[in-house]
Structure 1
Amino acid sequence: MKLLAILFLCSRLLTSFTQEDQPQEIDCNDEDVFKAVDAALKKHNDGSKSGNQFVLYRITEVTKTGDQEIFYSVKYEIKEGDCPVQSGKTWQDCDYKEAEQAATGACMATIEKIPNVEFSVATQTCNITSAKGPVVTSQYDCYGCLHPIRTVPPDFDPVLRHGIEHFNNHTGHSHLFALKEVKRAQRQVVSGWNYEVTYLIQQTSCSKENFKFLTRHCKALANGVTDECTDLAYVDPQLRIASFSQKCQILSGEDFTMGCPGCPIEIPANSPNLKDALTHSITNLNAENNATFYFKIDIVHRATSQVVAGMKYFIEFTARETTCSKESNKELTESCEINKHGEMLRCTADVYVVPWENKIESTVKCQSPGKKPLRPCMYKARPREAGAEPTSENMAS
Structure 2
Amino acid sequence: MKHSVLLSLLLALGCMHVHGAPVEQDGMQQGSCEDAQAKGAAQQALNKINQDRQEGYVLGLHRLSNVHITKHDENGAVFYLTLDVVETNCSVLSRKDYKSCEARPVHDTPVYGQCKAAIFINRVQRVVRLYKYDCVIRPVPAARVSETCPDCPSHVAFDNAEVQKAVSLSLEKFNKESGLANHFSLLKISRATMGMAMSMYYNAEYTIQETTCPKSTEVVMAEKCPQMACEFAHKGLCRASLFNIIGHTETSVQCEIYEPEWEGRASPDPPGCNSPEAVRVAEEALEQISQDRTDGYILSLNRLYDLSHTPDKEKGVSFYKLTIDVMETKCHITSRKPWKQCKVRDIGGVPVYGECEVSASIGSEVQLQSYACAIREVPATLVVAECPDCPTADNLNEPVVKETANLSLQRLNEESRLANYFTLENITRASSQWVFGPSYFVEFTIVETVCSRNTDASELSNCKPMDCQFAHRGFCLGTHVAMEDQFEIRPSVGNKDSSFPNRNAVEVECEIYEPQAAVVEEQAHVRGDSGHTVQQHNHTHLHPHEHMHSVTPSSDLAVSKPRGSLGTVVDQPAPVRSSPAASSCPSPHRHNLGIVKLRL
Name the structure, 1 or 2, with higher relative contact order (CA <8 Å, separation 6+).
1
Per the TM superposition, whether the score is higher than 0.5 is no
Q: Normalising by structure 1, report the TM-score.
A: 0.36
Say which one has the larger Rg.
2
